[in-house]
Amino acid sequence: MEKVNKEIVAQLVAGDISRDESRTLLKMNPKDPERFWTYLEVLQERVNWDDKILLRISDHLYIVQKKETGERLVKCDCGHELGDFRANWKTSAHVRIRDTQEEINKVYYPPAAAPEPEWNEVREFFCPGCYAQIGVEIVPPGYPLLFEFRPDLDRFYREFLGKPLDDKRSDWYEDHTDKTTANWL
């Protein structure tokens, strides 16, 4: 089974991979099973902190095992931490709301295709550390934050990758978002 070398994966992550190389990857059958580990290696080298990356969940966001405490946190590549991975990371972000037609028309064109404010609001989520735009959701007012993905990390490492994590606990696959919002009342 062919292994994709680290340089190619790095190019893929950086977005400067050639069309030919990306086409080669698309045509791989089967995909290289080592990719996940190569990916983590590439990603780990791109950040300036040394908490262990367990999973990349977005362009900028990672679930990491914090070196000092062993916590599993969501961390931006700038180094800012967005809380326990079991709570929706959006609860630790900053948000800008576009809820007028004028504001929405700044991100949709032409105006004839722009979403309308009574029906929707545009929620742009920023990392409070670097102000990268790390998420967008467009939902009606009154709608809960969408928790894009809550991984069953231990099952993933144990059953899908065959390399169990060494800090297994029974409560890792829980949703703590509501606990977070409860503290805000």
Partner 1 sequence: MVTVNNQSQPSEVIELEKTVAYKIKRRDELTEKTGHYWGIKEFTLRDADPMKFERFYSRLQSSCMAAREISRFVAASPGGREMGEAVWGLVSAEGDSIALSEGFVAHSAAFPYAINFMIERGYEDNPGFNDADVYVADDGFSCGAPHPGDTYTYVPIVRDGEVIGWACAINHIMEVGAPQAGSWAMFAVDTFMDGFVCPPTRTGENLKQYAWWDEMWKRRTRAGTMNILDDKMRLAGCAMILKSIHEIIDEFGVDYYLRASKEVIEESRRVVKDNIRNWMIPGTYEQSAFRVCLYKGLQNIWEHADKDSLIHVYMRSSIDGDGRFHADMEGSSKWDYHAFNAFPGGHKVALMMGLAGALAYNTKFTSGGNYMIDSNLPEGSIYNPGTHVAAHSNGWAQMIMVTLQAFNTLTRAQFMRGYMEESFAVSGPWDSMQGEGVLEDGTPYGYTQFELLGACAQGAYAYRDGEPAVWFIASQLCNMGNSEEFEQLTPPLFHLGRKLQPGYCGYGKYRAGLGLSAVHWVVEPGQRLTASRAGSSCGIIPELSIGMMGGYPSPGATVAVAQGTNVQELFKEGISPTTLQEMVELVEDDTLKTESIKIWKSDAPQTHLKQDDLWAQMAGSGGGWGDPLERDPQAVVQDANSGSINIPFAEEMHGVVLNRVGDEKYELNEAKTVTKRKALRAERKAQSIPVKEWYQQHREQRVLKMNMMEPVVEMLRSATSFDAYKKHYFNFWHLPEDFEI
Of 51 and 134, the one with the shorter C-beta distance to partner 1 is 134
Of 16 and 68, the one with the shorter C-beta distance to partner 1 is 16
Find the binding residues for partner 1 in span 42-61 (CB under 8 A): 55-60
Question: Does 165 help bind partner 1 (rule: CB under 8 A)?
Answer: no
| Contact pick of 2, 22, 45, 67 for partner 1 (by CB under 8 A) | 22
- Tell me the β-bridge partners of 84: 73
Question: Does 134 help bind partner 1 (rule: CB under 8 A)?
Answer: yes
Of 155 and 168, the one with the shorter C-beta distance to partner 1 is 155
78: Cβ contacts below 8 Å, ≥ 6 apart: 60, 127, 129, 130, 132
Reported as type and span, the H/E element at residue 45 is helix 35-46
Site string for partner 1, 94-113 (x = CB under 8 A): xxxx--------xxxxx-xx
Q: Least distance in Å: CB of 101 to partner 1?
A: 11
Q: Is the peptide bond before 140 cis (omega within 30 degrees of 0)?
A: no
Give the CA-trace dihedral at 8, 12, 15, 19, to 10 degrees: 70
**DSSP 8-state code for residue 49:** S
Q: Least distance in Å: CB of 144 to partner 1?
A: 4
Of 51 and 121, the one with the shorter C-beta distance to partner 1 is 121
| Alpha carbons 65 and 3: distance in angstroms, whole number | 27
| Contact pick of 44, 78, 165, 173 for partner 1 (by CB under 8 A) | 173
Question: Does 164 help bind partner 1 (rule: CB under 8 A)?
Answer: no
Whose CA is closest to 71, among 62, 84, 56?
84
Of 118 and 167, the one with the shorter C-beta distance to partner 1 is 118
Q: Which stretch binds partner 1 (CB under 8 A): 45-53, 71-79, 89-97, 163-171?
A: 89-97
Q: Residues 145, 91: contact at Cβ < 8 Å?
A: yes
Q: Residues 142, 99: contact at Cβ < 8 Å?
A: no
